[in-house]
Chain A
Amino acid sequence: MIYFDLLLGFLKVGFFAFGGAYGAIPLIRDVVLSYGWMDEEMLAYMIAVSESTPGPIMVNLATYVGNTQAGLPGAILATLAVVMPSFIIILLVMAVLKAALKNPYVQAVLRGLKPCIIGIILATGLYMVLHNCLGSVRNVQADAMAVILTVILAAVYFIPAKMKKKGLSPVMLIGISAVLGMLVYGF
Chain B
Amino acid sequence: MPILLDLFLTFAKVGLFTFGGGYAMIALIEDACVSKKAWITHDDMMNVTVIAESTPGPIAINCATFVGYKQKGLPGATAATLGIVLPSFLIIFLISSFLDNFLEIAWIANAFKGIRIAVGLLILDAGLKMVKKMPKKKLPRTIMISSFVLMLTVNVLSLHLSTIVVMLAAGIVSLMIFIGTKPAAPGKGGSGQ
Q: Which of A60-96 contact B (CB under 8 A)?
A: 60, 63-64, 67-68, 72, 75, 79, 82-83, 85-87, 89-91, 93-94
Q: Say whether B174 contacts A127, CB under 8 Å.
A: no
Chain A interface residue count, CB cutoff 8 Å, equals 97
Interface size class of B (residues with CB under 8 A): 35 or more
Q: Is B41 an interface residue (CB 8 A)?
A: no
Q: Inside 8 A of A104's CB, which chain B residues have their CB? A: 178, 189, 192
Chain A, Cβ-Cβ closest to B46: A114
Which listed residue (B87, B91, B107, B119) contacts A182, Cβ 8 A? B107
Question: Main secondary structure on chain A at its contact with chain B?
Answer: helix
Chain A, residue nearest B74 (CB): A91
* Residues in chain B near residue A116, CB distance under 8 A: 143-144, 147, 166-167, 169-171
Q: Which residues of A contact B175 (CB under 8 A)?
A: 105, 108-109, 112
Q: Which of A135-184 contact B (CB under 8 A)?
A: 136-138, 146, 149-150, 153-154, 157-158, 169-171, 173-182, 184
List the count of A-B residue pairs having beta carbons below 8 Å apart: 364
Answer yes or no: B37 CB below 8 A from chain A CBs.
Answer: no
A35 at the interface (CB under 8 A from B): no
Query: What 8 A-B pairs are tightest by C-beta distance, nearest first?
Result: A181-B114, A55-B88, A86-B57, A112-B174, A119-B147, A125-B124, A125-B123, A56-B58
Residues of A whose CB lies within 8 Å of any CB of B are: 14-23, 45, 48-60, 63-64, 67-68, 72, 75, 79, 82-83, 85-87, 89-91, 93-94, 97, 101, 103-105, 108-132, 136-138, 146, 149-150, 153-154, 157-158, 169-171, 173-182, 184-186
